[in-house]
Amino acid sequence: MQNILVFLLVFGIIVVVHEFGHFYFAKRAGILVREFSIGFGPKIFFHRKGETTYTIRLLPVGGYVRMAGYEEEADLRAGMPVTLMLNDKQVVEKIDIQNKHQSVDSLPLEVTSFDLEDELFISGRVDGVDEIETYTVSETALLIEKDGTMLQIAPRKRQFQSASLPNRMLTNFAGPLNNFILAIVAFMLLGFMQGGVPSSEPLIGEVQPDAPAAEAGLETGDRILSIEGNEISSWMDMVGVIEQSPDTALDFEVKKTNGTVTEMTITPQADENSDAGKVGIGQTMDDSLSSKIAYGFVQPWSIVMQIFTILGSFLTGGFSLDQLGGPVAIYATTQTVVRAGAIGVISWIGFLSVNLGIMNLLPIPALDGGKLLLNIIEGIRKKPISEEKEGLITLVGVGFLLVLMLAVTWNDIQTFFLN
C-alpha cells in the first residue's frame, strides 16, 4: 500500500505541475479553460470555481487541461431533449444535457439547432409543440454534461485557435517548462537535505572496509592524479576507467592528504549484477551554498544529456525497448525509491519530471512538441493548417504513441514480473 501511495503521489505531483503550466498560460492568454482534471475515466469528484471545473477521475495515472476549441460542445446534438434554465431576461444560463431534474423555472426543449460559438442561440420545440422557439444563450452559460460535470460554453473569441500564435506557443510549451522548473527545485532541495552534493573532483570520500581500495591503502580525502599514466581530472573520468577494467590491475598515482604523491596498484572487482569494475569508494560531498544551488541545474542537465543519448540511439540503430519505461517500470522502481526515504522520493520526482518534460517536447503529433511544430509551420506559412489536416496528423500521432505505450508496457511487465 505504501508503494502504491508513493507512486500516486509522485505521479500526481508531476502531472499536476505539468498541467498547471498549460492552465496558467492559457488563462493568461484569455483562453477558456473548461476543465482541469487529475486522472482519466469516470468522474468521482468535481468542484467548480470561476469558469473552470476541477475534477478528479477514477484512473489516477495522468491528467489533462480541457481548453476551449479542442473538442465539440460535449454531446449536444439536434433532436436531443435538454433542460434550459433561463434568467429574468429569458437568456439561457444553463443547458442540462442530463435532462433529469426539472424545476419550476426550467424549460424542457427538444433541440433542433444551436450555435454556442458565434451567434450564441439554441432552438427547439418546447413540450412537443411543433412551433420552434429560439433562445439567446449567455456567453457564460453552463453546459451540464451527462455525468453531471458543469462546463462553461466557449464563444469563438475564447477558444484556443483565437489566441495569438505566440500565446498558443507559450501555452503548449508551458507544461514541459513547468516540469523542468520542478526538477530544478527538487534537486536544489535535495542538495540542502543531503547537506551537500557529490563533488565532481576525483577526491576519495567513504572507503568501504575490505574493498580493493582499502586494501591498497586509499583513504578519505586522497586525490587521484592518474590511472595507468592517463591524467584524471574528474570523478567521472576515474569511474569510467575503473568500471571498464574489472579484474584488471591498474596503476594509480595518488596525492595523499598530507601532500605526498604515491603510487599504488588496485584491481577492481567485477560487480555481481553488471560486471562493471568496482573498488569500493564513494564521492566526497561539497557543502558550499553555491554547489547546492548549482545542483538544481547541473543534475537535470545531466539527465537531459542521458536522454539525448538514448534518443540518438534511434538513429544509430542501437535502440532497445529496455531503454524506455512506462507506468509499470515507474511503479516497480518506486518500490526501491520508497526504501531510500524522502531523499529517494524527491530525487525520483526530479528524474521523472525531466523525463516527462523532454518526452513531451518530442516533435510527435499529439504531444506538446508536435503542437509546437505545427505552430512553427503556421508561423512560416503565415496561416494555420486546416482543422482536417491537423486532426489527421494528431490521429496518426495518437496511434503511434498508443502502439509504443503498449510495446513498452508489455516489455516492462516481462522485465519486472515475468522474468
pLDDT digits (tens, 9 = 90+) for 257-293: 999 999 999 999 998 877 889 999 998 888 889 989 9
68, pLDDT greater than 60: yes
Residue scoring higher pLDDT (313 or 43): 43
Please check whether residue 63 lies inside any domain of the structure.
no
Per-residue model confidence (pLDDT) at position 4: 81
CA 80 – CA 83 distance, rounded (Å): 10
Residue 73 falls inside a structural domain: no
Beta strands in 116-259 (DSSP E): 121-126, 132-144, 150-152, 197-198, 204-207, 223-227, 230-231, 250-255
Q: What's the helix, strand, coil split of the chain in %, to 5?
A: 45, 25, 30
* pLDDT score at 219: 93
How large is the average pLDDT for residues 319-338? 73
What is the chain's alpha carbon radius of gyration, rounded to the nearest angstrom? 29
Q: How far, in Å, CA of 337 to CA of 306, rounded?
A: 20
Flag whether pLDDT at 239 surpasses 90. Answer: yes
pLDDT of the residue at 232: 93
Question: pLDDT-derived band of residue 101, with 50, 70 and 90 as boundaries?
Answer: low
Task: Look at residue 23 in the predicted model and tell me its pLDDT.
Answer: 96
Amino acid at 185: V
C-beta of residue 187 within 8 angstroms of C-beta of residue 197:
no
Same-domain pairing of 293 and 183: yes
**Are 126 and 216 part of one and the same domain?**
no
pLDDT band of 73, cuts 50, 70, 90: low
The secondary structure of residue 249, as a DSSP letter, is -
Instruction: Tell me the one-letter amino acid at 143.
Output: L
The answer, yes or no, to whether residue 340 has pLDDT greater than 90, is no
Q: Select which of 19, 35, 73, 253 is catalytic.
A: 19
Question: What amino acid is encoded at 80 in this protein?
Answer: M
Q: Which residue has the higher pLDDT, 391 or 178?
A: 178
Do 258 and 112 belong to one domain? no
Give a yes or no: residue 260 inside a domain: yes
Distance, CA of 211 to CA of 207 (rounded, Å):
8
The reported pLDDT for the residue numbered 104 is 67
Average pLDDT, the chain: 88
Q: 101 and 132 in one domain? A: yes
- Whether residue 71 is contained in a domain is answered as no
Q: Do 229 and 176 belong to one domain? A: no
> What SS3 class is residue 38?
strand
- What is the model's pLDDT at position 321? 67
Q: Are residues 270 and 142 in the same domain?
A: no
Q: CA 329 from chain center: how many Å?
A: 15
Domain region containing 249: 200-283
CB of 213 closer than 8 Å to CB of 204? yes
Question: Sign of the CA dihedral 382, 384, 386, 391?
Answer: positive
The single residue listed with the C-alpha cell 409543440 is: 129
pLDDT over 90 percentage in the chain: 51
Task: Supply the angle between the helices 368-381 and 387-413 in degrees, to the nearest 10.
Answer: 160
Instruction: Answer whether residue 331 shows pLDDT above 80.
Output: no
State which of 104, 132, 158 marks the end of a domain.
158
Looking at 283, 299, 323, the residue that finishes a domain is 283
As a whole-number percent, the residues of the chain with pLDDT over 70 amount to 95
- Cα distance between the two ends of the chain: 23
C-beta neighbour count of 245 within 10 angstroms = 19
Question: Does 250 have pLDDT greater than 70?
Answer: yes
Q: Which residue has the higher pLDDT, 320 or 58?
A: 58
Total domains present in the chain = 3
Same domain (yes/no): 268, 311: no
For 18-32, 93-107, 336-350, which range has the lowest pLDDT when averaged over its residues? 93-107
Residues in contact with 222: Cβ distance below 8 Å, sequence separation at least 6, in sequence order: 203, 204, 254, 255, 256, 257
* Average pLDDT estimate for 48-56: 90
Q: Are residues 311 and 386 in the same domain?
A: yes
Please say if 215 is a catalytic residue. no
pLDDT score at 167:
96
**180 and 205 both lie in a single domain:** no
On the question of pLDDT at 215 being above 90, the answer is: yes
Domain co-membership, 312 together with 378 = yes
Q: Are residues 209 and 277 in the same domain?
A: yes
Range of weakest confidence among 132-146, 303-317, 356-370: 303-317
Residues 267 and 223 in one domain: yes
Q: DSSP state, 158?
A: G
Averaged pLDDT, 380-389:
85
What's residue 324's pLDDT? 72
CA 238 to chain centre: 34
Helix (H) or strand (E) holding 346: helix 341-360
